[in-house]
Amino acid sequence: MNTTFLETKALFELPKNMIYLDGNSLGPLPKSAVGRVADMMTHQWGEMLITGWNKAGWMQQPVDLGNRLGRLIGAEKNHLVVGDTLSIKVYQALASALAMRPDRKVILTDSGNFPSDLYMAEGLIKSFNQGHELRVVASDEIAEHISEDVAVTLITEIDYRTGRMHDMANISSRAHAAGALTIWDLAHSAGAIEVDLAKAKADFAVGCTYKYLNGGPGSPGFIYVAPRHSDIAQPALSGWLGHAAPFAFERKYRAGPSIERMRVGTPSVIASASLESALDIWDMVEMSDVRTTSMSLSDLFINIIEASCPMLKLASPRDATLRGSQVSFYFQDGYAAIQALIARGVVGDFRAPNIMRFGFTPLYIDKGDVLAACEIIGDVMQNSLWNKPEYKVKATVT
C-alpha cells in the first residue's frame, strides 16, 4: 500500500464532533480549495478578467481536469471531459448512442437505476419521437435481457440505494455480442471503487464530481466516450464550445474533434477551481488502496452493526466485492433514525422509503471513526432515541 490516508485526512476540513459517513452524497471541503478559489477569483478573474480564458487556461481546463479524473477510472487520455451536470451528460450519452444504432429502439435499464437517469431517458424518447422504448427490468436480470433489439444499456454501476455493484466487464461484453452499446453511470463508482473503462470496453460513461471525488456542491459532471466512437458520436446538445472552431462563429455547426464535441457551453471556472484542489488530493492516492481500505472499513461496520442492532436489516450485499463503498440498512423509521444520528454527530442519509445509508471514504474516514460511529448508532438504536417528534419532520433534502 503506497497511500498514506493519515496524510490525506489532514487535507480535509472535518468539523470536530462529527463523523462524516455521507461522502457518497457530498464530499467534504479540501482545505486548499478555499485558498484556490479565492486565488482564482482575486488573481485570475479579478486581475485578468476576460484574458483569463487564455492566460489562466480556463478554456482548456475541462479537458485537463478530465484527464486527471480519467486516471481514477481507467479512461484513455483526452477521452473524458468535465462540464454541465450528470443528468445533462446522461442525455448526451444516450442521444449519441441511439443515433449510432438507428435500427434499434430499446434502451435497457434496471429498476435500481437512479430516477434522474430514467427521467432523462423518457424525456429524450419523447422529444426524439421515433418509437423508442425504455425497458426497465429487475437489477439482477439485466444481462439476460440484452437482446438484439437493444440499442443501448443505461446502467448505474453501483445502486444508489443498496450499493449493489453490476459487473461492468461482463455486461459490456454481452451487450457488444448482441450489437448493443453501453452507458455507465459512475456517480457512485468514481473515487469509490476501481473502474477500468478501457479494459471493460465501456462505450460511454458519465458521472459527477461532488460525491466521492469531493469537488464541492454542484461541481461539474463528466462524460467519457471510448476512442473508437469519439469521432463518430454526434453531440445532440450542439453548443458552441463543442464546435470545431467556436471562435470562427460559423453559421453551421461542425462537431469538434473527439471528446471536445461533448462540451456544450461556457464552463464554470469557479467550481473547477475547487475541483482542482480535490484532484490534487486524488493525485496522491492509488485506487487499489482506497478500495481495499473501504472494503475493510465497511465490513467492520456491518459486523458491529449487525451484532449490536438487530432491528436493522442489511440492504447491501454482504460480500464486499459485490458492493460499492456504501452500506445500507433497512429500517422502517430510517428517516427519524438518521436525524437522531446527525444530532449525535454521525452523518449518514436516508433514501425513501426505508433505507439508512452510510458511506465509507478512506481519504478521511478511518477505523477509529467507524468504531466511534458504531457506538453512537448502537446507543441510538437500542434505546430508540430516534423516536421523538423533532426527528420525524421531513426536510427538503433527506
Min dist CB 268 to ligand PLP, Å, is 13
Closer residue to ligand PLP (CB): 146 or 187: 187
Cα 324 to chain centroid, rounded: 11
**Closest CA relative to residue 196, chosen from 70, 92, 311, 91:** 70
Contact segment (CB under 6 A) with ligand PLP among 132-140, 144-152, 181-189, 301-309 equals 181-189
Q: Catalytic residue at 211?
A: yes
Query: Binding marks (x or -) toward ligand PLP, 55..94, rule CB under 6 A?
Result: ------------------------------xxx-------
Closer residue to ligand PLP (CB): 1 or 397: 397
Is residue 196 within 8 A of residue 189, CB to CB? The reply is no
The whole-angstrom separation of Cα 54 and Cα 76 is: 25
Is residue 260 within 8 A of residue 63, CB to CB? The reply is yes
Region class of 363: left (phi > 0), else alpha (psi between -120 and 50), else beta: alpha
Closer residue to ligand PLP (CB): 155 or 309: 155
Min dist CB 213 to ligand PLP, Å, is 12
Residue of 5, 91, 114, 222 with catalytic role: 114
Min dist CB 216 to ligand PLP, Å, is 12
Q: 3-class DSSP state for residue 214?
A: coil
Min dist CB 186 to ligand PLP, Å, is 8
Residue of 20, 357, 369, 391 with catalytic role: 357
Min dist CB 2 to ligand PLP, Å, is 30
Contact between 268 and ligand PLP (CB under 6 A)? Answer: no
Cα three-residue angle 53-55-59, rounded to 5 degrees: 30
Residue of 36, 104, 164, 211 with catalytic role: 211
Residue of 5, 91, 204, 210 with catalytic role: 210
> Which one among 70, 163, 191, 221 touches ligand PLP, defined by CB under 6 A?
221
**Closest CA relative to residue 264, chosen from 293, 236, 245:** 236
Other beta carbons less than 10 A from residue 192's beta carbon:
30
> Which one among 12, 20, 91, 160 touches ligand PLP, defined by CB under 6 A?
160
User: Judged by CB under 6 A, how many residues of this single chain contact ligand PLP?
Assistant: 13
Contact between 187 and ligand PLP (CB under 6 A)? Answer: yes
Q: Catalytic residue at 210?
A: yes
Min dist CB 218 to ligand PLP, Å, is 8
Contact between 110 and ligand PLP (CB under 6 A)? Answer: no
Other beta carbons less than 10 A from residue 255's beta carbon:
17
> Which one among 117, 260, 333, 369 touches ligand PLP, defined by CB under 6 A?
117
**Closest CA relative to residue 273, chosen from 11, 57, 26, 15:** 57
- Which ranges constitute the DSSP H helices of the chain? 5-9, 31-39, 46-48, 52-55, 61-73, 86-100, 115-128, 168-177, 197-200, 269-282, 287-308, 334-343, 367-382
Q: 3-class DSSP state for residue 297?
A: helix
Residues 189-218 that bind ligand PLP (CB under 6 A): 208
Contact segment (CB under 6 A) with ligand PLP among 129-137, 185-193, 258-266, 358-366 equals 185-193
Residues 119-158 that bind ligand PLP (CB under 6 A): 156
Distances (CA, A) of 23 to 12, 66, 68: 12, 21, 20
Closer residue to ligand PLP (CB): 205 or 370: 205
Residues 327-346 that bind ligand PLP (CB under 6 A): none
Give phi and psi for 218, each to the nearest 5.
Answer: 75, 15
Residue of 22, 117, 159, 185 with catalytic role: 185
The whole-angstrom separation of Cα 222 and Cα 271 is: 13
> Which one among 114, 204, 335, 364 touches ligand PLP, defined by CB under 6 A?
114
Q: 3-class DSSP state for residue 311?
A: coil
Q: Catalytic residue at 357?
A: yes
Give phi and psi for 12, each to the nearest 5.
Answer: -110, 150
Give the residues lining the site for ligand PLP (CB under 6 A). Answer: 85-87, 114, 116-117, 156, 160, 185, 187-188, 208, 221
Active site residues: 114, 185, 210-211, 357
